Amino acid sequence: MIESNVSLSCAWCAGGGDGTRAHLDENHSEHGLSPTGHLVVAVCLGFVGTFGFLNNTLVLILFCRYKVLRSPMNCLLVSISVSDLLVCVLGTPFSFAASTQGRWLIGRAGCVWYGFINSFLGVVSLISLALLSYERYCTMMGATQADSTNYRKVAMGIAFSWIYSMVWTVPPLFGWSCYSPEGPGTTCSVNWAARTANNMSYIICLFIFCLILPFMVIVYSYGRLLQAITQMSRINTAVSRKREQRVLFMVVTMVVCYLLCWLPYGVMALLATFGRPGLVTAAASIVPSLLAKSSTVINPIIYIFMNKQFCRCFHALVMCTTPERGSSFKNSSKVTKTLRTVRRANGQNVTFAVASAGHPTIFAPNSGGQKSSSDGEKPSPAVGQGTNRPAVSLVAYYNG
């Protein structure tokens, strides 16, 4: 990421150099970190690699152990965990070993491999997070029948994220930019420093389509969700205020962590590419790289362990018990939504959906005593006959 790597990087890209240890040692001695700096980086990488591996492995264990977690939405979360786990297994150990020795250890081919696999899996994670936010937006805002057994749409989304990432990370292997050492020479990535039209055009496209575009999708999707939650809270403040605050906290946490992990790396890359030579030092370039790698630890915590369903299964795994039944039933294969649109005074529509798990439900609040049933069954007995009613979930869809 720093200008001192330009000669070595260009030699590797053009095929005129072999990426020998002597070149790396020379680069390190002139512009690298101090031994203490390398030790600090090694400790950080060891922490990220260890906890990233443990967190994502635990996610996969929970998903395989408990069938209740095998829903289409959770499959997308598992795809994110798989990409983060592969980073911890296939990438982080090499940069950790290099930091302990203060130099790159596995030559040119190893540098190209490291740069490609980290870029590829990193973009997979970014695109998957954007798809996850859009899927949540469609699930809540779409007034359509939700089928928890329909995996086709999510499978297509997962395939799209991996193929899309491949499309944008393979070109450096064939001459559109290249993978080369960055920072103090103990990590490798896209060649940020070469001031050629070939390299700069690739970096601009990568920045737009693999960082800015996913971020815009995330902001739009979660922004619309917050708008819907706010509209619902105006109708039923007592029930919805707590949910609004919880969703707001979750959305702000997701967006802030996304920016914290990836924005510094993107900004530093642009400064190295378009800024004056020597603007980005070795110490300054390694910090954004560590933040980007820390996403492998943060993603499971935010997107999975803050999920009540996963938390119940984790508690059951630790206590060797059966997971408590929450809002998601193990045997509910299809959710039927009974829609009811109410026009507010300001001309905007708010659609209420009463979701039932294959049982007749009674839409009591704000419905004028109207009843709805699923699959043509008879309405449930009136109140006071001692009949147990199934749980009813009320969701509001904002159509403004």
Exposure of 297 by Cβ count < 10 A (0-12 exposed, 13-18 middle, 19+ buried)?
buried
Which band of pLDDT confidence, cut at 50, 70 and 90, is reported for residue 147? low
Query: Does residue 329 belong to any structural domain of this protein?
Result: no
* Dist. CA 252–CA 218, nearest whole Å: 11
Query: Does residue 327 belong to any structural domain of this protein?
Result: no
- Tell me if 287 sits within 8 A of 261, measured CB to CB: no
* Dist. CA 333–CA 151, nearest whole Å: 12
Question: Do residues 346 and 372 both lie within one domain?
Answer: yes
Amino acid 190: pLDDT: 93
Query: Does residue 354 belong to any structural domain of this protein?
Result: yes
Q: Of 262, 286, 319, which residue constitutes the final position of a domain? A: 319
Question: Do residues 180 and 43 both lie within one domain?
Answer: yes
Amino acid 321: pLDDT: 82
- Structurally, the chain folds into a number of domains equal to 2
Query: Does residue 340 belong to any structural domain of this protein?
Result: yes
| Statement: residue 386 has pLDDT above 60 | no
Question: Do residues 315 and 356 both lie within one domain?
Answer: no
Query: Does residue 312 belong to any structural domain of this protein?
Result: yes
For the chain, what percent of residues have pLDDT higher than 90? 36
Q: Per-residue pLDDT averaged across 253-278, rounded?
A: 87
Lowest pLDDT segment from 115-119, 197-201, 326-330: 326-330
Question: Do residues 47 and 160 both lie within one domain?
Answer: yes
Which band of pLDDT confidence, cut at 50, 70 and 90, is reported for residue 21? very low
Range(s) of the domain holding residue 59: 3-319
Other beta carbons within 10 Å of 226: 15
Who has greater pLDDT, 84 or 141? 84
Question: Do residues 351 and 290 both lie within one domain?
Answer: no
DSSP assigned state of 354: E
Q: Is 361 left (phi over 0), alpha (psi -120 to 50) or beta?
A: beta
261: domain CATH number is 1.20.1070.10
* Dist. CA 280–CA 271, nearest whole Å: 7
Amino acid 241: pLDDT: 66
Question: Do residues 314 and 340 both lie within one domain?
Answer: no
Which band of pLDDT confidence, cut at 50, 70 and 90, is reported for residue 236? low
Q: Encoding tokens for residue 107? A: 């030559």
Average pLDDT over the chain reads 75
Query: Does residue 324 belong to any structural domain of this protein?
Result: no
Query: Does residue 281 belong to any structural domain of this protein?
Result: yes
Q: Of 269, 286, 319, which residue constitutes the final position of a domain? A: 319
Question: Do residues 180 and 272 both lie within one domain?
Answer: yes
Question: Do residues 302 and 363 both lie within one domain?
Answer: no
Which distant-in-sequence residues (6+ apart) come within 8 Å of 11 by Cβ? 17, 23
* Dist. CA 31–CA 77, nearest whole Å: 40
| Statement: residue 60 has pLDDT above 70 | yes
Who has greater pLDDT, 144 or 79? 79
Convert the pLDDT of each residue in 354-380 to its tens digit: 443 344 333 333 444 444 444 444 444
Tokens 């069954």 correspond to what residue?
Answer: 377
Q: Per-residue pLDDT averaged across 27-56, rounded?
A: 84
Q: Of 290, 319, 348, which residue constitutes the final position of a domain? A: 319
**238 backbone dihedrals φ, ψ, rounded to 5°:** -60, -40
Question: Do residues 242 and 142 both lie within one domain?
Answer: yes
Question: Do residues 369 and 287 both lie within one domain?
Answer: no
Amino acid 395: pLDDT: 46
- DSSP assignments along 128-146, one per residue: HHHHHHHHHHHHHH--S-E
- Tell me if 94 sits within 8 A of 115, measured CB to CB: no
Tokens 């294969």 correspond to what residue?
Answer: 333
Quote helix, strand, coil % in the chain, to nearest 5: 65, 10, 25
Convert the pLDDT of each residue in 161-216 to its tens digit: 999 999 999 999 999 999 999 888 899 999 988 889 999 999 999 999 999 999 99
* Dist. CA 382–CA 320, nearest whole Å: 41
- Distance between the two ends of the chain, CA-based, in angstroms? 46
* Dist. CA 72–CA 31, nearest whole Å: 49
Exposure of 85 by Cβ count < 10 A (0-12 exposed, 13-18 middle, 19+ buried)?
buried
Question: Do residues 227 and 120 both lie within one domain?
Answer: yes
Question: Do residues 183 and 247 both lie within one domain?
Answer: yes
**383 backbone dihedrals φ, ψ, rounded to 5°:** -65, 140
Amino acid 136: pLDDT: 82
